[in-house]
Amino acid sequence: MTRPKRQLNPLWQCPKCGEKFTTPNQQHSCGKFSLEPLFARSEPHVFGIYKKFAGMVQACGPVTIIPQKTRITFQARMRFVSLYPHKAHLLGGFVFARRLEHPRFHKIETFSPRSHLHHFRLDSEDDLDSDFEAWIAEAYAVGEQKHLE
């Protein structure tokens, strides 16, 4: 017997800043930011890592890239990955519906049975290998909330 597909509520849009969220009245700081200040103190190769990563995410399907004060988030329906630019590397975190132990995840935070934040570090574009491509696709599916179907 197959279960009926779960209906997802429409996204709530903040009347002040226009950001969209899966939860009405989601707490956030309204503001419009750009990428340039985030990478102002980074070595040039860090922006190259970001561009390759963003391209890999965009290959999964429609995505909204949201520069914030200290990070860049990627959103399908919900936000599923964030990147934090540093001088010589990027730190990031994928949201997965499962806990995945792997040496490339230096920390995992569990928020609920279907919400686990996996922290990683990217030092070069070479770090964006087939494992990362698969993890990006898995996190993108969470962003689409397919794990709730």
Task: From 16, 40, 28, 33, select the one nearest 79 (Cα to Cα).
Answer: 28
Rounded to an integer, the average pLDDT of 71-76 is 93
What domains, with CATH codes, occur in the chain? 33-148 (3.30.1460)
CA dist., res. 94 & res. 81, Å (int): 5
To the nearest whole number, what is the mean pLDDT of the chain?
88
pLDDT tens digit sequence for 22-49: 666 566 666 778 999 999 999 999 999 9
Per-residue confidence (pLDDT) for residue 47, from 0 to 100: 98
**pTM of the entire structure?**
0.83
